[in-house]
Amino acid sequence: MKLLTPEIAARLAANARARLDALECGTREPDPKPVVRFFNPVGAATWLATEIDTDGILFGLADLGFGCPESGSFSAAELEAVRLPYGLGIERDLHFEATHPLSVYAEAARTAGSIIVGERRLRAAARRLSGRG
């Protein structure tokens, strides 16, 4: 599967430009919502990406499933090159729609020790706050 569509790549690049513009102007860096979510279909690894540079390096939140999610950079090409059992590879979550800025996902993931558990807790909290849960 091609992990980045032209539309997703354009949104990621726009976030990178906005961050660079903020740095040049001396203003606060934006805290965008993740644009895309990648996952290992046979493991616990998960990535949330907010931007991409001209070399194909993504920035976001990475969780390799060891209990310590971290913000940082990762290569789109390397994610696409991963070969897993049964002929599988890293996949893009086709139904992912971010509801929070990256900093919220990062804090939830660090507290929970996992992006997946952090997302589950954020959804549960949202349901409780809306009176639906």
Per-residue CA distances from 93 to 1, 29, 38 (Å): 11, 27, 6
The strands making up 46-52's β-sheet, listed across from edge to edge, are: 70-75, 57-63, 46-52, 36-39, 91-92
Query: What is the pLDDT at residue 2?
Result: 87
Its pTM stands at 0.94
- Backbone φ, ψ for residue 10 (5° rounding): -65, -40
What per-residue confidence (pLDDT) applies to 75?
97
Report the length, in residues, of the chain. Answer: 133
Rounded Cα distance between 68 and 25, Å, is 33
Given a cut of 70, is residue 64 above it in pLDDT? yes
Give the CA-trace dihedral at 64, 65, 69, 72, to 10 degrees: 0
Mean confidence (pLDDT) of the chain: 96
Taking the chain, what is the end-to-end CA distance rounded to the nearest angstrom?
36
Given this model, what pLDDT does residue 133 score? Answer: 61
